[in-house]
């Protein structure tokens, strides 16, 4: 089987993007894998620090690799938004395929320092672990926001992106190009595809779009055409899970079998993931 690096390179060459979806339970994992397998496209499973704590790092690794080995399928595991070297190191040591050191809230110099530390450690293992980092404002929190947060329009500067990558040696880069983590009640973020293209031309490494939930289809397609190779989705599937379970319980108040209560959540997530993967892989 090809490595994640090879699949990302292939996505770049084809002008498509790999879908990245977060999990904190078995239902979401089944739903995401079902959708990816139906379309025969690679997929990345992400665990933030909170999701990792809830699910268990060893348990998550075991589940993903059980599927990968049993199905001989390109499903990969990413440490999403980890904020310390120790947490990144733990995931690298566990065998994750990629890690994201999130130093976006730090100063430029501090972000460079911790990112370089993670890159150096990943290289020292002899494994092909992809290291991603962020620069710029993408916001935080997988929640429903009343409006687009102040500061969302501050995009990553091309010259800063180039300097950051030259100084850290990262494999993938997540710039601020208009998206925001979470879902927005009023209005939708807009991706600056021109800025994406400018950064891609300057840095020459794969770009990652965070905060993809709730974006318009055209924002995704324009961003991918401009140079995005991986797209992160989380809030959309969390909301689908919540609404599906609530609806089922309301209609079946005497049901207590978890498998029956949670199946609608699996179905709802699978539907969203399939639609997103079709869009990202130009299969519509």
**Active-site residue list:** 80
Q: Which two tokens stand for residue 210?
A: 């965070």
CB neighbourhood size of 1 (10 A): 11
Task: State how far the alpha carbon of 274 is from the alpha carbons of 21, 41, 119, in Å.
Answer: 11, 10, 33
CA distance 135 to 102: 9
Q: Which two tokens stand for residue 76?
A: 């990969």
What are the beta bridge partners of residue 98?
A: 78, 130
What are the beta bridge partners of residue 19?
A: 43, 231
Q: Which two tokens stand for residue 169?
A: 């040696």
What are the beta bridge partners of residue 46?
A: 22, 78
Strand runs (DSSP E) across the chain, as ranges?
18-22, 43-47, 75-82, 98-101, 130-135, 144-147, 172-175, 183-186, 207-209, 228-233
Counting beta carbons within 10 angstroms of the beta carbon of residue 2, is it exposed (0 to 12), middle (13 to 18) or buried (19 or more)?
A: exposed
CA distance 156 to 175: 6
């Amino acid at each position: 089987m090809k490595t994640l690096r090879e699949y990302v390179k292939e996505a770049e060459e084809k002008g498509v993007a790999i879908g990245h979806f977060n999990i904190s339970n078995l239902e979401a994992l089944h739903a995401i894998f079902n959708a990816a397998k139906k379309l025969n496209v690679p997929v990345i499973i992400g665990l933030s620090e909170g999701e990792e704590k809830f699910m268990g790092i060893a348990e998550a690794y075991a589940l993903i690799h059980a599927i990968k080995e049993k199905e001989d399928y390109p499903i990969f595991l990413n440490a999403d938004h980890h904020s310390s070297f120790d947490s990144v190191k733990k995931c690298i040591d566990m065998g994750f395929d990629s890690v994201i050191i999130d130093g976006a809230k730090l100063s430029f110099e501090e972000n460079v320092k911790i990112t370089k530390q993670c890159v150096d450690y990943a290289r020292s293992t002899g494994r092909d672990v992809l290291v991603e980092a962020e620069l710029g404002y993408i916001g935080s929190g997988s929640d429903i926001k009343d409006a687009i947060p102040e500061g969302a329009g501050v995009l990553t500067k091309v010259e800063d992106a180039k300097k950051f990558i030259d100084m850290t040696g990262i494999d993938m880069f997540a710039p601020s190009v208009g998206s925001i983590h979470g879902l927005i009640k009023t209005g939708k973020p807009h991706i600056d595809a021109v800025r994406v293209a400018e950064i891609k031309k300057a840095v020459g490494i794969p770009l990652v779009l965070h905060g993809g939930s709730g974006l318009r289809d055209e924002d995704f397609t324009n961003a991918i055409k401009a140079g995005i190779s991986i797209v992160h989705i989380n809030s959309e599937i969390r909301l689908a899970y919540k609404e599906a379970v609530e609806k089922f319980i309301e209609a079946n108040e005497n049901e207590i079998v978890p498998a029956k209560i949670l199946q609608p959540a699996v179905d709802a997530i699978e539907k969203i993931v399939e639609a997103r993967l079709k869009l990202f892989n130009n299969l519509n």
